[in-house]
Structure 1
Amino acid sequence: MARPLQIGLLVFPDVTQLDLTGPVQVFASLSDATVHLVWKRVEPVKSDGPIVLTPTTTFAECPQLDVLCVPGGYGTDALMEDGAVLDFLRKQARGASYVTSVCTGSLVLGAAGLLEGYRAATHWSAREALPLFGASVSTERVCIDRNRMTGGGVTAGIDFALTLVAQLVDPHTAQAVQLRLEYNPAPPFHSGSPDTAPPDVVAFMEEKIANARARRLEVVKRVTGR
């Protein structure tokens, strides 16, 4: 009997919880998969909102994963310079079938040297960082380049996970999971992308995140020596 798929998602301080919990909800629907929430210690970790998340295993005890996933959030700034995190990702990536991310989690993959020569997606506000890691920017909601699968910002994590389930199992299973979750988006506005949002909304958001965006880019430049 084949062993269950081993799917691991990184949990860390200031993770954007929906980057993590969206894919987890999809993966947890698979009967033949074990989902691991991985961090340095098994103790509660605060997300970027009021939700506290509890890892299920540590770097040291985590089995070899079939799917390695790094979600995003402001906490990724620290991860890009965290040797223990980067070493764990490099070690797991060598044996993983899929190396994946959601949102700015792709920058952490980049910092670990796992996106050089690959196309990758990320949150729209972080796209300028990807070329510094040797990656080509994809504006797709889900980008697939060989065994690298990267999702755009936050809510794209659900699309990413369903896309991956279709590859791991089959499209029928992915569609059944989608139906179970009643994932049938009908947003009240078309402001989910800078390409479709009103200019004043884009300007407002760009001003609001300007400082955080600049800090993140400084970290990327430091990590890459640029």
Structure 2
Amino acid sequence: MQTIELAPGLHMFPFEVGQVYLWVDDDGLTLVDTGVAGSAPTIQGGVHRLGYDRRDIKNIVLTHFHEDHVGSAAEIAGWNGATVMAHQLDAPVVRGEQAGPAPVITDQERPYYESVVPNVPAALPVRVDRELVDGDRIAVGGGAEVIGMPGHTDGSIALHLPRHKVLFTGDAIASVQDAPILGVFNVDRARAVESFRRVVQLDVDVACFGHGAPVVGDAATTLRAAADGVAV
């Protein structure tokens, strides 16, 4: 697996379906999402290539409950007892206590949905040590802000590192041919659009998406231009 440095302290592990991000602090590592089930050995290898041990992972932040984001969380959380975090509305799904709501698939999305989603392996339930809400702060990157991004799922979040001008959007925003778009497979498109328009007001240089190439350099301008073309 290729390991890509996007900015000092920020690395991306790309997978066939989506990507995982690693943030490096002096006192430990934070994973943003964990890929599909079976991704843990590859993530461990990427961490080792950067000169760290898997036991250095202190936090796992899950942007939402979908299997391609939480699939390897249970295995990774078992390495060294990392703190697992997810929004309180998605946490019951992450823990396996209830099924998540199905997305409303548009006609345009359906061919891709039917070709990809059935092949994503089921995720094992994983504990959630900290349930997040909009406005929470996490001790990552000098102070990370949790931003509620309902629409893709009810409990989707973005994570903003204002000191470093880095934004992790999960699947609320994606990228196709290097252009940001509204994420697909949403439970509520209108709320997803509202979330998109809200988050693009942030001053960020780097925007990291769950799927598609990140924007590195003046990401705020790129995101705002993209938001102008998003309709309910």
Q: TM-score, normalised by structure 1?
A: 0.36
Max radius of gyration: which structure? 1
Q: TM-score, normalised by structure 2?
A: 0.35
